[in-house]
């Protein structure tokens, strides 16, 4: 009771000294309690909810009916078992993810943890043996100083004993992928990831963590390397997913 009182007192002092701001528009907020979005930006969040594709997690526009496989997943398959994302990649989430990479790290992490905890049950991801953040190329890692996917893994799964940034290596730099089509991305990424110690993933279930699922090419290439090294099930969790046009 006393500890809780002290906690809210310290939060109030902190809010006074470092006024919390909306992760998307920068407007001052009354409290640093997550989620750190003002009412207007929170209105622009789009949660991904059923009905979705049971494999890639793509949401279906028609709210009627249950989860099922989407057309592309019926025609071809991924190397991961299922991919799930919390939100569509709309402006407020894009800005929060940008903050995660380039500045307001603590506030963004607290906000993603808040959303993940609220929706963990509905995501229905099996607890994995290993949690593997999608690695950055060492050069990019040196520039940024940290891997945002690793920060997310530690924030969302604080008690998990096997968060392993050392298992997968990005050994080839790839050009920025943002403007490329899925097919070109896939070609660029071919062989870009390597499992460092296959013995550590053989027969294990793995959860891959990344900030955004764009075409799925990156996580699929990671999943391919992991499966090739003998991993069992590979699941994917991202904070956001780009909506197909
Ligand atoms: Zn805002
Ligand atoms: Zn699908």
Query: Which tens digit of pLDDT belongs to each residue from 116-142?
Result: 999 999 998 999 999 999 999 999 899
| Whether pLDDT at 244 is above 90 | no
pLDDT score recorded for residue 212: 96
List the shell of residues around ion ligand 2, using CB closer than 5 Å.
53, 55-56, 58, 70, 73
**Closest-approaching ligand to the CA atom of 27:** 1
pLDDT score recorded for residue 13: 75
Task: Provide the percentage of residues in the chain whose pLDDT is more than 90.
Answer: 71
pLDDT in tens, 39-62: 999 999 999 999 999 999 999 987
Distance CA 163, CA 185 (A): 27
Q: How far is the CA of 97 from the centre of ligand 1 (A)?
A: 14
| Whether pLDDT at 90 is above 80 | yes
Q: What is the pTM of this model?
A: 0.90
| Whether pLDDT at 104 is above 80 | no
pLDDT, mean of residues 91-95: 96
Sign of the dihedral defined by the CA atoms of residues 120, 123, 124, 126, in that order: negative
Q: Between the CA atoms of 141, 144, 145 and 149, what dihedral angle is there, to the nearest 10 degrees?
A: -70
Q: How far is the CA of 44 from the centre of ligand 1 (A)?
A: 9
Q: How far is the CA of 5 from the centre of ligand 1 (A)?
A: 29
Q: How far is the CA of 50 from the centre of ligand 1 (A)?
A: 27
Question: Residue 12 — pLDDT band, cuts 50, 70, 90?
Answer: confident
**Closest-approaching ligand to the CA atom of 37:** 1
**Closest-approaching ligand to the CA atom of 29:** 1
Q: How far is the CA of 233 from the centre of ligand 2 (A)?
A: 17
| Pair 170, 136: CB distance under 8 Å | yes
pLDDT score recorded for residue 34: 94
Distance CA 176, CA 140 (A): 11
| Whether pLDDT at 68 is above 90 | yes
């Amino acid at each position: 009771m006393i500890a809780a009182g002290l906690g809210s007192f310290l939060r109030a002092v902190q809010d006074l000294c470092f006024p919390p701001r909306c992760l998307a528009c920068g407007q001052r907020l009354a409290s640093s309690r997550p989620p750190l979005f003002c009412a207007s930006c929170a209105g622009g969040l789009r949660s991904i909810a059923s009905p979705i594709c049971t494999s890639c997690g793509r949401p279906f526009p028609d709210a009627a009916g249950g989860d099922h496989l989407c057309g592309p997943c019926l025609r071809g398959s991924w190397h991961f078992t299922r991919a799930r994302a919390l939100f569509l990649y709309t402006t407020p989430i894009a800005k929060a993810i940008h903050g995660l990479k380039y500045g307001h790290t603590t506030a963004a992490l607290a906000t993603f943890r808040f959303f993940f905890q609220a929706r963990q049950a509905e995501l229905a991801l099996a607890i994995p043996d290993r949690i593997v953040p999608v690695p950055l190329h060492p050069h990019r890692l040196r520039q940024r100083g940290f891997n945002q996917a690793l920060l997310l893994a530690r924030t969302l799964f604080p008690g998990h004993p096997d968060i392993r940034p050392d298992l997968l290596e990005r050994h080839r730099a790839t050009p920025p992928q943002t403007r490329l089509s899925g097919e070109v991305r896939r070609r660029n990424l071919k062989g870009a990831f390597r499992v460092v110690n296959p013995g550590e993933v053989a027969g294990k279930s793995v959860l891959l963590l990344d900030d955004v699922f764009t075409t799925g090419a990156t996580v699929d290439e990671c999943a391919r390397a992991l499966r090739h090294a003998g991993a069992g099930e590979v699941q994917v969790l991202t904070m956001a997913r780009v909506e197909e046009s």
